[in-house]
Amino acid sequence: MNLLEVKSICKTYGCGEAAVHALKDVSFTVAKGEFVAVVGESGSGKSTLLNMLGALDTPTSGKVFVDGNDIFKMKESQLTIFRRRNIGFIFQAFNLIPELTVEQNIIFPVLLDYQKPDRKYLRELLAVLGLNERRNHLPSQLSGGQQQRVAIGRALLTRPSLILADEPTGNLDSQNSSEVIALLKEAARKYEQTIVMITHSPSIAQTADRVLKVSDGTLTDLGWCRE
């Protein structure tokens, strides 16, 4: 079963001779529970693609379906709620709120949705992420790897069907990078999360189930990785 379907996405910035074609007729699918890496040079269009998948930007043409929902047919208010509940984001810069503790940062999206956090699931995530002893610490008291673990927990707590990770290991050393990728793979298996991850690292890309390459706005499926 496909969790994500992308159909003929195009994105053009500007017009006439100044037009920049960031994405050109991009189509692909991602199965539920699949971990897909997207690689490509800087400026190739991969970040633009991720923004489309997360409805952070609107395509010039084409459609994106998340769990059967045509996200660009939704009204803005509907889309905001759908995105908050169904799509988790993990960024290179962590984007934690400095005044909030580890636990408060993780549950913040749930509170923003006027919901009560699942405390049992929260405790499970803190244990899986190795953050039990850090739950009351502020981001400034954490290492980079620990901060990214918090960001992963924040993305997982709402149980989104799709997680989008934009260079999640970009600010980490090799050991922390390996640990973060292992956590993402465990999430895909244990919680049936579908993950699309942008990375510049060929070695990290090879840890995914499948690799897609974006080059000059076009997409090529490089196929399945084998361990």
Q: What is the pLDDT of residues 209-220, one digit of tens each?
A: 999 999 999 999
CB 36 within 8 A of CB 197: yes
Closest CA to 206 of 221, 189, 225: 225
Residue 80 covered by a domain: yes
Residue 3 covered by a domain: no
Mean pLDDT, rounded, for 36-55: 92
Residue 166 covered by a domain: yes
- The domain of 209 spans 34-59+71-224
Report the CATH number that the domain containing residue 127 is assigned in CATH: 3.40.50.300
**Half-sphere exposure of residue 112: CA atoms within 13 angstroms, side-chain side:** 14
Model confidence at 171: pLDDT above 60: yes
Residue 206 covered by a domain: yes
Q: What is the pLDDT of residues 150-170, one digit of tens each?
A: 998 999 888 899 999 998 888
Residue 86 covered by a domain: yes
- Range in 81-95, 124-138, 168-182 with the lowest mean pLDDT: 168-182
102: confidence class by pLDDT, cuts 50, 70, 90: very high
Model confidence at 183: pLDDT above 60: yes
Domain count, the chain: 1
Pairing mode of beta strands 20-31, 2-13:
antiparallel
Higher pLDDT, 29 or 178: 29
For the chain, give the DSSP string: -EEEEEEEEEEEES-GGG-EEEEEEEEEEEETT-EEEEE--TTSSHHHHHHHHTTSS--SEEEEEETTEEGGGS-HHHHHHHHHHHEEEEETT----TTS-HHHHHHHHHHHTT----HHHHHHHHHHTT-GGGTT--GGGS-HHHHHHHHHHHHHHT--SEEEEESTTTTS-HHHHHHHHHHHHHHHHHS--EEEEE-S-HHHHTTSSEEEEEETTEEEEEEE---
Residue 106 covered by a domain: yes
Residue 27 covered by a domain: no
Residue 169 covered by a domain: yes
CB 114 within 8 A of CB 168: no
